[in-house]
Amino acid sequence: MAVRIRMRRIGKNPIKKPHFRITVFDERTTRDGRFIEEIGFYNPVSKASKVNKERYDYWISKGAKPTATVAIVVKKAQALSAKELKDADTNAA
């Protein structure tokens, strides 16, 4: 079974406020179809994102392939969390 890490849209279209869940899918399912696991979210309006890094790494180790968009979002989420940790360390000192 080929596994992909993709985005699943959950935002309302008429309101024009899209937001997405980062999910693990079987490659043959549709964008909003049945999924295996949710590992994060992304809101393009507010640029907020959160990814469960442990589960993401687990699925990558099992052979799951992220889409290009998911790879960018995960990279940015990791950079933001590293920056927040660095800022917290400097504020605490």
CB 39, CB 56: distance < 8 Å: yes
For 38, residues 6+ apart whose C-beta sits below 8 A from its C-beta are: 8, 21, 22, 23, 24
Identify how many contiguous H helices and E strands the chain contains and give both numbers.
2, 5
According to the model, what pLDDT value does residue 82 have?
Answer: 66
Give the side-chain half-sphere CA count within 13 A for 57.
4
Position 65 confidence tier, pLDDT thresholds 50, 70, 90: very high
Task: Give the bridge partners for 8, in sequence order.
Answer: 21
Residue 67's identity, in one-letter code, is T
Q: What is the CATH number of domain 3-92?
A: 3.30.1320.10
The predicted model scores a pTM of 0.78
